[in-house]
C-alpha cells in the first residue's frame, strides 16, 4: 500500500455542508490523519484571512488559498503570485460594461466593486465574509484572486476571449451558480500543490485531495489519489481518480476509509 503523507481538503461543499456545519465524521477523519502524522492542508478559493478560524477549529495551520495563488506550510510562505494590474483593469472594465460586480481578494481584505447589489449581499452572507472593503485603485498590485459576481447566465462569455491564460469556473454553491471564479492556467490549486510537495520533498503518489468544484480540477489531477465529492460539479468527475459520497454523507471519511486511513 502507498505511504500517504499529505491530504489537501477543499472547504465549501467538501468540508463545509450547505448549512456551514462540519460533520462529526469529517472532524474524526482529520483527527485520525493528524494522529498518524499525515499533513492536512485546507485548499480553497477563499482568502486566507477568512479561513483562519476554521483552521483553528480543525487544528490545521497549513493552507492553500485564493485558488492556489498563495500557500503556507505551518505559517511559512511556500508560494505567492499576485495578478498583473493590467489584468485587473481589464476585468474591471468588462464587468462595468456588462453590469457585473467583482470581488478582488488581497492578503488583507475582500474588495468589492459595490455593496449595493442583491447578489453581492447574498455572496457575502453565503460565505460569511467579514473583512470587506470597497474597491480603490491602490489595491491593483495586491490582488491574489477574483470572483465575478452576477446572476446572468453565461456571463463568462464576456471575458473568455480577452484572456489567453485564464479560465473561469462556476462557484459550486447553491444560489450562486452564475458566479465565476477566475483561475489562472499557471496559478491554480494544482500548481500550489506541486509547490508544497516540492517544498516537503514528497512524491505525488504520497498525496490525497478532495474537492467538489471545477476549481479543484487541477488539484485532483496532481495528487496520487484525487476524490470528487458526490455533490461535485458534473464535469469534475472525469478528472478525479475516485468518487466518494457527498458532503452530507461522510464523503471525506468514506474516501479515506477506502484507502485504509480511517476507521
CATH number, residue 97: 3.30.1240.10
Write the CA distances from 234 to 13, 74, 107, 212, integer angstroms.
14, 34, 32, 9
Strand partners, 132: 110
pLDDT of the residue at 1: 54
pLDDT of the residue at 193: 98
User: Do 64 and 179 share a domain, yes or no?
Assistant: no
Query: How many structural domains is the chain composed of?
Result: 2
Among 151, 184, 217, the domain-final residue is 184
Strand partners, 102: 148
pLDDT of the residue at 29: 98
Query: d(Cα 256, Cα 263) in Å, to the nearest integer?
Result: 9
Grid cell locating 123: 455572496
User: Do 106 and 45 share a domain, yes or no?
Assistant: no
Grid cell locating 151: 446572476
Assigned domain for 263 exists: no
Q: Which domain holds residue 172?
A: 85-184
User: Do 37 and 115 share a domain, yes or no?
Assistant: no
pLDDT of the residue at 175: 83
Among 128, 157, 184, the domain-final residue is 184
pLDDT of the residue at 218: 96
The pTM (predicted TM-score) of the whole model is 0.90
CB distance 250 to 13 below 8 Å: no
Regions in the chain scoring below 70 on pLDDT: 1-2
User: Do 101 and 138 share a domain, yes or no?
Assistant: yes
Amino acid at each position: 500500500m502507498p505511504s500517504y503523507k499529505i491530504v489537501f481538503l477543499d472547504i465549501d461543499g467538501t468540508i463545509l455542508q450547505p448549512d456551514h456545519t462540519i460533520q462529526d465524521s469529517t472532524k474524526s477523519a482529520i483527527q485520525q490523519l493528524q494522529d498518524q502524522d499525515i499533513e492536512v492542508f485546507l485548499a480553497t478559493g477563499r482568502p486566507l484571512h477568512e479561513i483562519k478560524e476554521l483552521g483553528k477549529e480543525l487544528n490545521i495551520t497549513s493552507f492553500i488559498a485564493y485558488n492556489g495563488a498563495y500557500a503556507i506550510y505551518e505559517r511559512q510562505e511556500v508560494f505567492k503570485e499576485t495578478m498583473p494590474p493590467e489584468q485587473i483593469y481589464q476585468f474591471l472594465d468588462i464587468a462595468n460594461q456588462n453590469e457585473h460586480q467583482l470581488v478582488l481578494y488581497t492578503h488583507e481584505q475582500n474588495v468589492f466593486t459595490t455593496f449595493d447589489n442583491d447578489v453581492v449581499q447574498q455572496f457575502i452572507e453565503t460565505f460569511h465574509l467579514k473583512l470587506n472593503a470597497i474597491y480603490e485603485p491602490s489595491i491593483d498590485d495586491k490582488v491574489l484572486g477574483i470572483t465575478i459576481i452576477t446572476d446572468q447566465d453565461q456571463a463568462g462569455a464576456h471575458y473568455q476571449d480577452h484572456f489567453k491564460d485564464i479560465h473561469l469556473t462556476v462557484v459550486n454553491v447553491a444560489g450562486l451558480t452564475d458566479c465565476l471564479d477566475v483561475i489562472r492556467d499557471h496559478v491554480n490549486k494544482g500548481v500550489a500543490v506541486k509547490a508544497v510537495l516540492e517544498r516537503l520533498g514528497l512524491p505525488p503518489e504520497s498525496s490525497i485531495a478532495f474537492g467538489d468544484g471545477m476549481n479543484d480540477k487541477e488539484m485532483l489531477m496532481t495528487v496520487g489519489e484525487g476524490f470528487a465529492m458526490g455533490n461535485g460539479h458534473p464535469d469534475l468527475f472525469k478528472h478525479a481518480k475516485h468518487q466518494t459520497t457527498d458532503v452530507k454523507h461522510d464523503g471525506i471519511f468514506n474516501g479515506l476509509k477506502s484507502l485504509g486511513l480511517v476507521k
